């Protein structure tokens, strides 16, 4: 999305939350850090004279997405969310759908088996009391609250063959994933399918009704007014 906006020469600013020490460079001016809730975001939109908001945050970043809906309503700015479709189970998949992190932790047997906990690093506390050998994969080295854990540091995109080898090497018995969608992280699901492993799939948070686009081109059409009033 940032590349498309930059290529079109639009005056846009890219906002990072500030969670990653070395974020990927963007072809747009970048700002880093929270806004101070929905009110802070509404103030920012007014102060910076932002005319349109594109919420291109991760599908599991529910707080900022809710704040964006509220802030745009308060400041009278149009909002669109760029959101890739969720993954859907294919034949051979053994997915157990759960609504949140807590339910995912409860769904595991707690029998000391090896679990590929592929949920990033922000919500590991929910799994801390469970008896498992955890395999974690982060984009950069970071502290975590889990006792018996092996940390793999890698940014992907990942391959099915690579993820199958990784899961075999660590004798993984269960995979926990959140339904992020997209291609960068879907190799683990194909690998689990090929190995016949069960996947605890955390479904996306429920968000307020908002306009959603699946592709940057749809966002550009909206910016240019092609589907206004539809």
Ligand X SMILES: NC(=O)c1ccc[n+]([C@@H]2O[C@H](COP(=O)([O-])OP(=O)(O)OC[C@H]3O[C@@H](n4cnc5c(N)ncnc54)[C@H](OP(=O)(O)O)[C@@H]3O)[C@@H](O)[C@H]2O)c1
Residues that bind ligand X (CB under 6 A): 15-17, 19, 34-37, 40-41, 57-58, 60-64, 67, 120, 122
- CB 64, min distance to ligand X, A: 4
CB of 42 closer than 8 Å to CB of 48: no
Residue 104's φ and ψ, nearest 5 degrees, are -65, -45
- Residue 38, SS3 per DSSP: helix
Residue nearest to ligand X (CB): 34
Compare residues 82 and 194 and give the one whose CB is closer to ligand X. Answer: 82
- CB 33, min distance to ligand X, A: 6
Compare residues 172 and 202 and give the one whose CB is closer to ligand X. Answer: 202
Compare residues 35 and 222 and give the one whose CB is closer to ligand X. Answer: 35
Contacts of 88 (CB under 8 A, 6+ apart): none
Compare residues 113 and 138 and give the one whose CB is closer to ligand X. Answer: 138
DSSP symbol at 18: S
Q: How far apart are CA 86 and CA 56, in angstroms?
A: 15
- CB 6, min distance to ligand X, A: 17
- CB 114, min distance to ligand X, A: 22
- Residue 32, SS3 per DSSP: strand
DSSP symbol at 201: E
């Amino acid at each position: 999305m940032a590349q498309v906006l930059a290529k079109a020469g639009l005056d846009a600013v890219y906002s990072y939350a500030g969670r990653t020490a070395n974020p990927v460079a963007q072809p747009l001016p970048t700002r880093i850090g929270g806004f101070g809730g929905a009110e802070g975001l509404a103030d920012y939109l007014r102060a910076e004279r932002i005319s349109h908001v594109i919420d291109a945050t991760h599908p599991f970043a529910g707080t900022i997405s809710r704040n964006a809906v509220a802030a745009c309503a308060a400041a009278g700015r149009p909002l669109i969310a760029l959101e890739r479709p969720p993954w859907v189970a294919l034949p051979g998949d053994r997915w157990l759908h759960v609504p949140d992190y807590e339910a995912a932790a409860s769904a595991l047997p707690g029998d000391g088996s090896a679990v590929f906990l592929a949920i990033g690093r922000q919500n590991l506390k929910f799994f801390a009391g469970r008896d498992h050998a955890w395999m974690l994969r982060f984009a950069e080295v970071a502290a975590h609250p889990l006792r018996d854990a092996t940390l793999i540091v890698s940014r992907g995109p990942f391959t099915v063959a690579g993820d199958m080898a990784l899961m075999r090497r660590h004798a993984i018995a269960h995979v926990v994933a959140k339904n992020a969608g997209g291609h960068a992280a879907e190799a683990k699901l194909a690998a689990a399918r090929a190995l016949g492993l069960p996947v605890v799939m955390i479904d996306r948070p429920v968000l307020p009704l908002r306009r959603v686009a699946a592709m940057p081109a749809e966002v550009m059409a909206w910016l240019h007014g092609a589907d206004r009033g539809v």
